[in-house]
Amino acid sequence: MHVFSRRLTAAAAFGFLVLALTGCGNDSPPVLGEAYVAPATLNLRRQLTQKNSAVAILRHGERVDIIDVRRRFVKVRTGKGAEGWVDSIELLSPEDMIRVRQEREDALTLPSEGSATPYETLNIHIEPSRKSPAFAQILEGDSVSILAYKLAPKLSGPVKPPSLILDRPQPPSRRHRSAHAGRTRSQLPPPPAPPKPPANWQELSAERIDGTESTADLKEKKDQQAAEKKAEEVKKHVILEDWALIRTKSHQVGWVLFRNLMISIPDEVAQYAEGKRITSYFSLGDVNDSDKGLKHNWLWTTSSAAVPYDFDGWRVFLWNRRRHRYETSYRQRDVEGYFPVHVDAPTSSEAERTFELITKDDDGAFRKRAYAFDGVRVHLTTTENYNPAAARKNKPGGTEPSKLRTRSSKTGWLARHWQALKQRLSGAR
């Protein structure tokens, strides 16, 4: 009986010891904040001094808890319990992640302005900046939709850390006894004497009798002018780059360098770009050529380098079936145009096509103009005031834009079709 009691006591003691050790192992450091992984993949390192000590690979958008901080590096814990160190620049705060997700949802509803393919494997960035994290890639030959454009400086400032909790909590202070613990305030040494003023303090503080500025004021003004001049010189030498907001077939939305994309319009049309970049293109109907096969009439918009809007010119091309080549039907230059460009869906192969473009006129007002293309000529049909802010918000029950000039597309219908019929009979098309 005594032997059994001793064994039971030993087993109970061993169980309590195991429970105590297990409980001590579960004590984890407190959570200082939360963050989300920004790049496509991120190595979680066990130690900061060892690059090859990866304990896990984190994916874009994965949530982690911050448990420690060392300068700009943070120690995080994943949802599966893995812990390690990462660079805080590679993380997004919860507010930043909400903003990125909202921007992606909004971009998914934007209409496509044309397709493009990359020359080689291309990184997709969260923001239009080279230093912005890349969360995905476009493979060579993949097709993407172009949604918008933006100019951004090539050499931006230093990367700012995200708005995370980057302050390590201070440990509780411990009071240690020292030889001076018993000193009273009266026994402390006297404070040091204040610094003496400079020898020429009167010259620096007093203004001259003739009313001119003092030496200190002149020096301060000169330094300010030098700083302003330096800022202007830096501003003149800033190089701007064109970035394109794209959408992949898997519904990933982000920014890429536009110069690494090739617009997917046929080369026999792209050769007329005249050194400008094609920002959007749309088909305005099919043309059956017995010798060349199926062709298209095209609408495109183009832009010069480094303009703060989407296009500064647009052009309509028609296929001449007699000469087997593309020719210009209508063209406008020196405009300030903005996306979206809208082209109606065709009802039949021979139907008249209509499209709308948004421009900012010389009076500073935005206007949306509708045009009709009958296969040969382009005709202006309507002009309306346009409010970009109201269009973005898309508020229900908003006021309709006031029409400045309206001309029905049926105006001159017989004359246009008679002219088109004569050109068909003469073999011009």
278 and 129 co-located in one domain: no
* Shared-domain flag, residues 258 and 271: no
Please, is 234 exposed, middle or buried when counting C-beta atoms within 10 Å of its C-beta (0-12, 13-18, 19+)? exposed
Whether residue 394 sits in one domain with residue 258:
no
User: What's the rounded Cα separation, in Å, for the pair 81 and 25?
Assistant: 13
Q: Are residues 47 and 119 in the same domain?
A: no
CA angle 202, 203, 207 (to 5 degrees): 100
At 325 the three-state DSSP class reads: strand
Whether 386 is covered by a domain: the verdict is yes
Residue with tokens 């970049």: 277
Last residue of a domain, one of 264, 298, 325: 264
Q: How far apart are the first and last CA of the chain?
A: 113
Measured CA to CA in angstroms, residue 337 lies from 55, 131, 329 at distances of 51, 29, 19
| Coil, strand or helix at 363 | coil
Do the domain assignments include residue 149? yes
**Six-digit token pair at 114?**
């044309």
Are 285 and 376 in a shared domain?
yes
Predicted pLDDT of residue 247:
94
257 shares its domain with 143: yes
> Are residues 116 and 100 part of one domain?
yes
Last residue of a domain, one of 46, 69, 92: 92
Same domain? For 61 and 144 the reply is no
What pLDDT score does 407 carry? 39
Residue 55 lies in a domain: yes
Q: What is the CA radius of gyration of the chain?
A: 35
Same-domain status, 317 and 417: yes
Angle of CA points 329, 331, 333, to nearest 5° = 175
pLDDT at res. 53: 76
Whole-structure pTM over 0.85, yes or no? no
Residue 413 counted as domain residue? yes
Q: Which residues pair with 87 in a beta bridge?
A: 73
The whole-number pLDDT of residue 214 equals 59
131 shares a domain with 53: no
270 plus 409 within the same structural domain: yes
Q: What is the pLDDT of residue 29?
A: 75
Flag whether 419 is in a domain.
Answer: yes
Q: What are phi and psi of 66, to 5 degrees?
A: -90, 125
Whether residue 133 lies inside any domain: the answer is yes
Pairing between β-strand 91-92 and β-strand 277-289 as defined by DSSP bridges: unpaired
User: In sequence order, what E strands does 26-180 have?
Assistant: 33-37, 41-45, 54-59, 63-70, 73-77, 83-87, 91-92, 115-118, 122-125, 134-138, 144-153
Ramachandran category for residue 281: left, alpha or beta (phi over 0 → left; psi -120 to 50 → alpha): beta
Mean pLDDT for back-to-back runs of 10 residues, the chain (429 residues): 53 53 57 90 85 84 91 89 90 90 90 93 91 90 92 66 56 52 62 83 62 64 77 67 92 92 92 91 90 91 86 94 91 93 77 90 93 92 89 50 38 51 49
Domain containing 49 — which CATH number? 2.30.30.40
Q: How far is CA 62 from CA 162, 300, 333, 370, in A?
A: 16, 41, 48, 46
Whether omega before 172 lies within 30 degrees of 0, making that bond cis, reads: no
Question: Is position 193 within any domain?
Answer: no
The domain in which residue 375 lies consists of 265-426
Domains: count for the chain: 3
Distance CA 25, CA 14 (A): 17
Is 348 a member of any domain? Answer: yes
Clarify whether residues 376 and 310 are in a common domain: yes
pLDDT confidence of residue 419:
57
Assigned token pair, 231:
């800022």
Model pLDDT, residue 300: 95
* Domain final residue pick, 248, 264, 280: 264
d(CA 125, CA 40): 10
